[in-house]
Every structure is written in C-alpha cells, then in structure tokens.
Structure 1
Amino acid sequence: MMKSRLARVSAIALAVALVPVATSAISQVESDTQAEISRFVDIFERVKTDYVEPVDDDKLVRGAIDGMLASLDPHSSFLDARDFANLRTQTEGMYGGLGLSVTMQDGAVKVIAPTRETPADKAGIKPGDYITHLDGKLIYGGTLDEAVDQMRGEPGSTIKLTIVREGRDKPFDVSITRAIIDLKPVTWEIKDDIGVITIASFTSRVGEEVSKAVQDIEAKLGRKPVGYVLDMRSNPGGLLDEAVAVSDAFLEKGEIVSQRGRHKGDIERYYARPGDVIGGAPLIVLVDSGSASASEIVAGALQDHRRALVMGERSFGKGSVQTLLPLSRTTALKLTTARYFTPSGNSVQEGGIEPDIAVPQLSDPDYKTRMKLRESDLRGHLINEIGLDDKDLEVDKLADPRFSMTTEQLEEKGIEDFQLYYAMATLQRTTMASARLAATRGGLTRSTGATRPLTRRN
C-alpha cells in the first residue's frame, strides 16, 4: 500500500514538471501545492540514494505521514493495522497492560492519567509523571508506540518503571505486575445513603450502564438515596455518543453539546430528551486534571444547565473531536474534524471545565508539588479561539480554611479520598438544610390551614 502511494506521489510530481505553472488552468494555490509535493519527492530520492545506510520505502513514507499529522495537533494520527486493532480493543474496554494513558513530550513518555483500579493506579503512578526507563532500559528519544508495546505483555509478568516526578529529588523505580485490563466503565456503590457512580471511560453502552446503576442503587436501598455523586476523575474520555447519552440521562431538555467543523455550516447539535433518571435528586460531579474530552462534555452540560454542582480540579481541556476515517480494512486516519462547545457556547479547549467549587485532593501527599499535565501543555495543541481569562487557574489567592487538613490528619480520621468525602459531606449538608426548610414551611402551611404538598426544585 505504501509503495503504490509513493508511485502516485511521484506521478503527481512528474505532472507538475510537465505543466507550465503560468497556465491559466492552474491556480496559484494548486501551483504551490504541486511545488511542495515535488520538493517532497526530491528529498525522498536524495535520502534513498545518499543516506549512510539503505532505507526502506515504507519507513520513509510512514515517517512523512506521521510528521505531517503530528504538525497539526496532538490527536491526529495514522493508524496502521496494529494501531487500528489497539484502538478497537480499547474502545471495547478490554486490553492487556498496566492501565495508563500516556503521551510523548519532548522525546519523553509522560503520564496523562492512570485508569482507576488498574495496576498502574494501585502502584501509585500519578498524572504528570515521566517514565524514563523500562526494566532499566532508557526509552527517551524512542517512539510512543515502542514504549506502549514494551509496557504491554503477558498478564502476571512484571515490569519495572523508572519515574521522574516533580517535587522528588531523585528518580525512583516502581515494579508493576501486568494484568488484563478488563475495564468496567461504570461501577457504583452506596456510601452514607449516597449513590456514588464512577465512570472510568466512555466505551460502548456507558449511557445504558449509568441508568442501570441508578436502578441498582435504588433497588438495594429500597428507596431513592439522598443524592448522587458522578465521579469522572481521571476519565480520559471516549465515544461522543456515550457522553451525550450520559448527559441526557440527567437532563430533561436543552442542548447537551454542539460540534463545529471547518466551515460555518458544519454545526451539529445534540439535545436532551425528557426524563431525568434520578428524578431531580441532588447531583455532584467530580472532575480533575485527568478528566478529558467526553468527561468534559458531560460536566460542561450538567454545569451549564445548573443540573449539577461540579467539584474537584480544573479538567484536562480537550475540546476537539476526532473522526475515524477508514483507509482500508485494517488502516484508518484519526483526524481532528471539529471543536465542541458546551450549551452556553463555551469551548473547553486549553482551559477545561472550571469547577463550581475547587476541592484539592488533600489525601494525595504530592498534590501541591506534582505537575499536572493538560491539553495546553501538549506541543501543537489547538488554540482556544474564544480565548482564556487572564487569571492563574492553578493557584488559590487565599488559603481556604476548609482545606487545611494534612494527609496525616485525614488518615487519622479514616478519610482516604478527600474530594469524594467533601462531595458527600456537601450532599449531606444540602439534605439537612432542605429538611429544615421543609419543616419551617410545613409549620407555616399548617398554621394557614393549607394542604398543598411541598415541592422542591434543584
């Protein structure tokens, strides 16, 4: 396939040489494009004849394709048979490895986020960590595919990662046992009469799984809980349709998200249908720097419609849509084709979703010093055309007395996850306040002899 493509490129370049540039049939833009193609073929031939060692045609053409797409943005890429199969496997939610989302930055492998409850997460790998060695072998300067291939392997086998973390004086090693990453995209539990639904990734049928989780929670309690927490921390995203389905589950009406392409008319809007799966119950959404793409669509929709209170940290900031364009039965082009916008018209590109209440993860001893990787840190990221506010999104201006406890103090209280603890405490306080308000209104109602039932709007 690569060689046939090269033959077509050569034919185009030959045609350029035979057709006068000055003819009226060729526009200046077409002429410039043909000149660039001709220059590419010239360089290709020079490399083939003069490089110190023989070079395979496929390697040169693949390098040219990868370089072309990398110059666009961090998310466009060519998927060969292996990459295409890997993408399909991850979309289906089961693959072998460590459970890491990684990127390449300046020749180094950098962690975007570990997937929760995977070997990497349990081993303490953090967003922003650099992986410099695998089993003692330096991987700096290699490709991301090579590093990912090495991290994958037989379940039960062990690999040693050398980690460089900001705030640590020296690199340190972490040994991790590989496992089958059979992702359960949606899990749930009941804590203190609160339903906690965790979405690890937006693979197929996540919208259905969220609705089922609500049913299971209410069935186990025998009634509705006092509220819900939708936990999307360290969720790297996934399928747009599933993000729409999850948002729709909690919204009665209105726009969920719009995506806008290259041309003015390339606008597609998605709307909620009537029906709130939790019947208007209080809802808190948790996000952090690892919450990206589909996670941000859900958080942005629920926040803009004031259906949920968003807590945690500013999210990753990936506000672009990638379309999979098949090139053959086994290869495809993953190309950025649109930007998405929240119902209020905001783009999360670069800036991410700003929480309504910023809650630091005090139970993480490194949260103050550890660098957090976001879209704006990636080389070649798309610029937010709307613009960002000139403010420091990372540093609190004043110390907040609510968040003054140390990691040791939290451990003494048995608090392992401060952000979740704070979200649940907020729901409990809201419920108590609503109960007091209902009691007050009930007293007034009885004194006037009215029998109209009390209703509450959230």
Structure 2
Amino acid sequence: MNTRRLRNGLIFLAGLLLLPPTFVFSQSAPNDPVTQESLKFAKIYGLLEEHYAVPVDPDHAIFDGAIRQMLSTLDPFSAFFDRQQFEQLQAQTRGEQLGFGSILYVTPGKVLVLQTAEGSPSWRAGLGPGDQIVEINGERVDRLGFQDLIALLQRSRSRPVQLGVIHPGKVVPQDVRLVPKEIELPTVDNVFEFREQQIGYLHISGFDAKTAQEVQKAIEKLGGNRLKGLLLDLRNNHGGVVATAVDVASQLLGPGLPVLTMRGRGVPEKTYSTVPSKVHFDMPLVVLVNGETASAAELLTAALEEHDRAVIAGEDSYGKGVVENVMPLSDGTGLALTVAQYFTPSGRSIQRKLPGTALADAESGIGKSTHFHTDDGRPLSAGGGITPDVPIPPRRLDPWVEFLNQRGAFTDFASQYLTYHPGVNKSFEPDKDVLSEFRSFLSNQQIRVPLEYWVQDQDYLKLRIKVEVFNLLFGLTAGNEVDIRGDPQVQKALEIFPRIAEILKGPLPEGTKHVKEAAGRNNQNSILLRAGGRQ
C-alpha cells in the first residue's frame, strides 16, 4: 500500500466538518456536490450538538460513527484508523511490533511460553518454550477470568512488566522483569527441506518491507538452485506491500516481465514489472493457496501462473484485486481508501464481485475481456480469485477433534506429559501407550471419548500430541514443522513435482497450440529447442 498526501478536496471536507455551524452557513458555499453534502452533514451535527440530551463527543460521533459508516458503504477494505490503529499499521508495514518477542498459549488460568524471538526482551531474560507465567504485575494468573487475563496481557505488552515464571522441572517461580521494545516480525515464518525429495518448503505469512530479503536468505539457506523443487506456501497470506511481492517475483522470474497493472479513476495507469535481481532461482515451483490467500499474495501467484513458472495447487483464493492508499490525517489518524484495481499480466482482474458495495460491478479484465491465458496459451479462470491448476481439499475435522482443539486439550496434555516424562527428545513418536495416557487425561478432564471418533482419529490425535510436545519442548518452529509435514495438502502438493512439466503444457482449447512450442518451430533460439524439448 502506498502512503500519499490527502487530496485537497478531502482536506477541505475535513476542515469544513470541524468549523462551527454558524460560520459555515454564513458564507456563500460553492455549489459542487461534495460541498453541498458536507453542509448537510454539518447542519445535522450542529443540531445534535445543540439539542441532544447529553453532550456529544465529536471524536466518537464523527470518527467512530459518521466516517466509519460512510466507508463501510463503499467496500470492506476502505477504513478509518484511530491513532493507535494507525501506529500499529505503520509498524506492521515496517515489519515491527512493540512487545516482548514471545508467543504465548493462553487458556483460563494458564499462560505458557511457546517461543521467544532471538534478541528480544523475553529471550534475553531467559524465557523459553514450556515456561509457565503464573503472575503478572502481582496478579495471580490462576485467579483471573479468561477475558480479564487477555485484557491484562494486552495492557502489559506496551509497558514494563514484572512476571512470575516457573521453568520446566521447577516448582518455585522466578521473578522476571521485561521492558518492551520494537520487535522485528519475520514474514517468512517456516522454512525446512524434505530431504528425501530435495524439495524446499517456505511459508510467507505476509509482505512487508523486508520480505524479499527474507525469501532470498531462506532459499539460499535451503540450498538455492541445488534444490529439485520449491513448495511456496501462500496459504493464509492476506497480502501487504505490493512492491515487495514484485521484488519476490523478480527472484523467481526473469527481468522485464509484467507482474501487475494498476488502474483507477484518479490514479495514472501503471504496470509493475520484474527487475534484475541479485539472485535468480529457477528450480521447479509449486505454489499452495487457499481461501485466505489474498491481495499481494494473489498477485504474486497470478504472475507465476501466467508466465508458466509454477503450478498452483490447493483451493480457490480469496479474490481481492483492489489497492488502498493509506493517507495520514490530522492528530495521527489515517485513512485507507480504495483508489484503484489490479490486473494480472494477462489483463484479468482477481477482484471478486461484492454485491451491495461499490465493487459489485468490478471490471473482469482490461478492455472488458473475459478470456485469458498464460504466456504458453493455457486458459485461465476469470471472475475473481485464482482457481488452482490442481485442486487439493483441506483436512476435514470431525466435531469431536474440533472441540479438543478449541478446548486446548492437546497443549494441556503435552504440558502434563512432559512433567511426568522429562526425558523426551526429538525422536518422540506418540504410540499406543501415549494415546492411552491421553485418553485417561480426557476422562479426568470430564471430556467424553466417543468410540467412533477415537478409532477414526488415531493418526490425527498422534500428530496433534507430537506437535504440542514439540512446541513446548523445542519451540513453535519445531512444532510447526511437524504439523506441516503431516498436512495432507502439503503431502499432496509434493506429489505434483514429477508432473510439473506435464501440467504446464496443457490441455489447451480446441484448435489452439502452445505459444512457446509454435514459436519454437519458427525460431531455432526458442526455449524449447534450446532445452531439447519435444515439439
């Protein structure tokens, strides 16, 4: 999102709303629609201020009421930010957050540390996975209701805090004082290799100013072009800084290829293309997406798909193809306003139509085209979002295991299990004895164990127990890797790599030919001929 100065008309509108009603109506106002509608609003607000039963708070009435409601009638993406929200948004764009650098597991009466960021206040104080926080600024955690506990944690993260912490294997709390600081939040949050296949795995949670550098370092750490493939996981990536997504595309595509075109009523049309990069990764690529893959993540996915660089797998993406300019206002507030629409290299829009909003009739493509194809001629879906080349449904959970997850049963059991079994190491695999112990734990917690679900969920129960044991013993990164390796979507995506060339070569609509293949017959320098491919 680009930060720009507020347009003169909007500055005038904001100034007008703050003028006393007597001054506003004593002047001869311009007759343009913006001014006339503003005068109506100012008159109504003047009547409220003069006659309402109790004094009116201007900030609440205008910012929380009128402005937010006005924006909500446009689309779900335009928004007003108060001072605190705008500061958080700016920090998020920088990839920073004020806090202690720890990830916590919170249930009623219990707070466990799952991970601390290296160099953070928590890390420097010696906190680590499995530590239990029993006291916060003199208040006992086990005596607080859940909502009170959450509120206390939220208040505490922005100011110095005194904690009582019990380390694993200990019974006496240790006093720990933490002072918050700006913590860098990595967006490449899971990186590892499937060594047997020599395929790297990389998950990007969002795009901020540092993401491209993180991607480069992560791929190089995995072995770079030595890899036989890269699984790029963009599931649950809601987007972020579009320019950063273009930088990532530059590492995976050749220079000079279009990534997106931006068009808007008040924004000059502009095409963003890949640029020469310090590194270029050309290993086979599969991109995994789902219904929470949105915005900049969809644009990166579309560019890799339309330039025939990657096979897209998973579920249909979200379908957000508009850009918001974030504009700073007075008093540290801000406005995010939808100002343009994005189009992919082929000219299609990924914006899904939103009935009842200003985006109900969003353009389907540049020039109102409805037929799109990749560089090599493969047809592409239109109408919002990205339809994967290889659909892979997610794991379906039955109501019983969903209840166990919501209840935090696996984490609570893992904490108890590690107390009774202190010698657990990375070779740990839940067996029938562990499951028997888990079943007894559920009974003691008065949680029913339906025989039907117990039998059919054995593999999932073992996976979740192992994940939580690793979270508490080795940290969230180790637990996430266990979870990802056991994810059926990831397992199915790995099976695609031997078929990438086949998938990228078709099928095509009747009567058409592969563009690159046809070019190869007329140009001895074609990619296919240089690679020795079949015509």
The structure 1 residue matched to 2:258, chosen from 245, 255, 259, is: 255
In the alignment, structure 1 residue 317 sits paired with structure 2 residue 319: yes
The answer to whether the Cα contact below 8 Å between 1:214 and 1:277 also exists between their aligned partners in 2 is: no
Deviations 1:103-132 (A, max 9, x none): xxxxxxxxxxxxxx99xxxxxxxxxxxxxx
Matches within 5 A, 1:173-188: 183-186=185-188, 187-188=190-191
Say which SS state the counterpart of residue 201 (structure 2) adopts: strand
What value does the CA root-mean-square deviation take over the aligned residues? 4.4
In the alignment, structure 1 residue 208 sits paired with structure 2 residue 213: yes
The answer to whether the Cα contact below 8 Å between 2:21 and 2:43 also exists between their aligned partners in 1 is: no
Matches within 5 A, 1:234-383: 234-252=236-254, 253-263=256-266, 266-274=268-276, 277=279, 279-328=281-330, 330-350=332-352, 351-362=384-395, 364-365=397-398
CA distance 1:418–1:244, shift in 2 (3 Å): same
Q: Structure 1: how far apart are the matches of 2:86 and 2:193?
A: 38
CA distance 1:348–1:453, shift in 2 (3 Å): closer
Say which SS state the counterpart of residue 321 (structure 1) adopts: strand
Say which SS state the counterpart of residue 152 (structure 1) adopts: helix
Match of 1:197 in 2: 202
Q: Structure 1: how far apart are the matches of 2:154 and 2:320?
A: 26
The answer to whether the Cα contact below 8 Å between 2:285 and 2:309 also exists between their aligned partners in 1 is: yes
CA distance 1:48–1:8, shift in 2 (3 Å): closer
Matches within 5 A, 1:90-109: 90-95=92-97
CA distance 1:338–1:228, shift in 2 (3 Å): same
The answer to whether the Cα contact below 8 Å between 2:17 and 2:38 also exists between their aligned partners in 1 is: no
Match of 1:447 in 2: none
Deviation, structure 1 residue 13:
4.2
Deviations 1:38-79 (A, max 9, x none): 321222122223323221223222222222222222222222
Percent identity between the two aligned chains: 32
Of the structure 1 ranges 7-16 and 193-202, higher mean CA displacement relative to structure 2 is found in 7-16
Match of 2:371 in 1: none
Deviation, structure 1 residue 294:
1.0
Match of 1:42 in 2: 43
The answer to whether the Cα contact below 8 Å between 2:95 and 2:210 also exists between their aligned partners in 1 is: no
Aligned length: 334
Instruction: State the one-letter code of the partner of 2:488.
Output: F
Instruction: State the one-letter code of the partner of 2:320.
Output: K
Deviation, structure 1 residue 210:
1.2
The structure 2 residue matched to 1:75, chosen from 74, 77, 93, is: 77
The answer to whether the Cα contact below 8 Å between 2:236 and 2:291 also exists between their aligned partners in 1 is: yes
The answer to whether the Cα contact below 8 Å between 2:316 and 2:386 also exists between their aligned partners in 1 is: yes
Match of 2:418 in 1: none
Deviation, structure 1 residue 266:
2.1
In the alignment, structure 1 residue 8 sits paired with structure 2 residue 23: no
